[in-house]
Amino acid sequence: MKRWEFERAVLGSDLSAPARLILLALAVLADWPGGVIPAKFSPSLSTLQVMTGLSRSALATHLNAIERVAGRDGWVVRARPTKRQAQTEKERTRYRLSIPASARDALASASHGLASAGDGLGLVREVDRASAGGGHKPDHFQTYSQTAAKQQSPSSPEQIVIDATGATAEEAAAVANRVANERKPRSLPGLLRRMATDGDLTQLLADQRAAAKRATVADALEAARRGPECEHRVPGGAALHPTTRQPLCPHCRTQAQRNGLKVVSA
């Protein structure tokens, strides 16, 4: 399975918009051909939140709906770590993308029709660059927000958010995605303009930045806890918290405070 085949199947499916967004985000992280996300790129829910602009509950709901389980075909296979692996070895859920049989049949039919039309029009299929080079090269791929930054027009949803709030292109794409997924307006630009007038976009941007900051802190904590055990047998216990700058181990923290370490408010 090549990346363009998977993406075409997703875009031609009857999946909900959030489900398509999740699958396309996962496709950015996967190795192609094959659709397997390497362990070191396996995303946490916090990472998927930043990539899609969806809430954790929405992510969980749609991932469950598109997962391949016993007796039911699906778009993604998830290998979840045990509670012990997650806590002590910091293992994350592994992902492997796939195209359900029904969607694969529809893709084959559509590809045949496109190829027939292309023969008469002189169309050439785009080369699958990922499969040509092999290996995982995420820098070859562009996320939705990066593409939007190059293609946005004065009336695009992203540009409306940028003009109203001063957000970056990536932040604007996340805010626009959130409004589109939660409100499902007939006209997204029209709704965003009204929200800009009411000041709602500024609050949404603040929420987005706060969520991104929490995700960054969570990832930093997860990385710190993979460190060596401290003298109190706590994994990564001597590492410093990314905001308070105090040791993660309570015993190390108490000892440091006794030695004159000042407490910093998170």
Tokens 């954790």, located at residue: 56
CA 252 – CA 47 distance, rounded (Å): 30
Give the up-direction half-sphere exposure of residue 235: CA atoms within 13 A in the CB hemisphere. Answer: 12
Q: What are phi and psi of 53, to 5 degrees?
A: 80, 10
Burial of 30 per CB tally in 10 Å (0-12, 13-18, 19+): buried
Q: Name the average pLDDT for the chain.
A: 78
The pLDDT, as a whole number, for residue 36 is: 92
The pLDDT, as a whole number, for residue 34 is: 87
Which amino acid, 252?
A: C
Q: Residue 90 pLDDT > 60, yes or no?
A: yes
Q: Residue 183 pLDDT > 50, yes or no?
A: yes
pLDDT in tens, 51-69: 999 988 889 899 988 988 7
pLDDT in tens, 113-155: 545 544 544 444 444 444 444 455 444 334 444 444 444 455 7
**What are the boundaries of each domain within the chain?**
3-123, 150-210, 231-266
Could you give the C-alpha distances from 220 to 33, 93, 178, 263, in angstroms and in order?
31, 18, 25, 19
Least confident of 107-116, 203-212, 227-236: 107-116
The reported pTM is: 0.43
CA 92 – CA 118 distance, rounded (Å): 43
The pLDDT, as a whole number, for residue 246 is: 86
CA 170 – CA 24 distance, rounded (Å): 16
Q: Residue 266 pLDDT > 80, yes or no?
A: no
Query: 3.30.70, 1.10.20, 1.10.30, 1.10.10: which CATH number matches 3-123?
Result: 1.10.10
The two structure tokens encoding residue 148:
């939007």
CA 133 – CA 194 distance, rounded (Å): 46
